[in-house]
């Protein structure tokens, strides 16, 4: 039996006042602080979406942060998470902001 933590990947979309309030910058900083990799971007519909990968406990922490904290001026209405799965290796080298 291994006590090695699973590496997981999850996609997310955050709804509310999340554009124009440095949400992507804060998301990138929190992801890096936790040692996670992935990406974040604005959508045309006014949401922020992305993907986060890393040890399951750190990803869960990030999910909670995305649901409840965000950037100081953001107002999060809801957070949706989907496609959560175990992965063998990371698909990203760092945590980046994707700009249109």
Residue linked to tokens 């936790």: 34
Specify the pTM. Answer: 0.94
Counting residues of the chain whose pLDDT is more than 90, the rounded percentage is 94
Query: Residue 3 above 70 pLDDT?
Result: no
60 three-class SS = helix
Q: Is 83 one of the annotated active-site residues of the chain?
A: no
Query: Residue 64 above 70 pLDDT?
Result: yes
What is the distance between the alpha carbons of residues 31 and 38, in angstroms, rounded to a whole number?
Answer: 8
Question: Looking at 17, 42, 94, 99, which residue is catalytic?
Answer: 42
Q: In the beta sheet, which residues pair with residue 54? A: 8
Is-contact 50 38, C-beta < 8 A? yes
pLDDT 10s digits, 31-52: 999 999 999 999 999 999 999 9
- For 28-74, list the strands marked E by DSSP: 37-42, 48-55
Q: Is 24 one of the annotated active-site residues of the chain?
A: yes
Question: Looking at 17, 24, 85, 94, which residue is catalytic?
Answer: 24
Looking at residue 1, its pLDDT comes to 45
- Segment 71-96 shows an average pLDDT of 97
Q: For residue 73, what are its two tokens?
A: 């001026």
């Amino acid at each position: 039996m291994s006590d090695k933590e699973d590496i997981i990947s999850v996609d997310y979309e955050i709804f509310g006042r999340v554009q124009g309030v440095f949400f992507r910058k804060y998301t990138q900083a929190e992801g890096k602080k936790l040692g996670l990799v992935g990406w974040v971007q604005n959508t045309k519909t006014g949401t922020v979406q992305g993907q986060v990968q890393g040890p399951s406990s750190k990803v869960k922490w990030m999910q909670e942060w995305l649901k409840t904290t965000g950037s100081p001026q953001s107002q999060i209405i809801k957070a949706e998470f989907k496609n959560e799965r175990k992965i063998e290796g990371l698909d990203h080298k760092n945590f980046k902001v994707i700009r249109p």
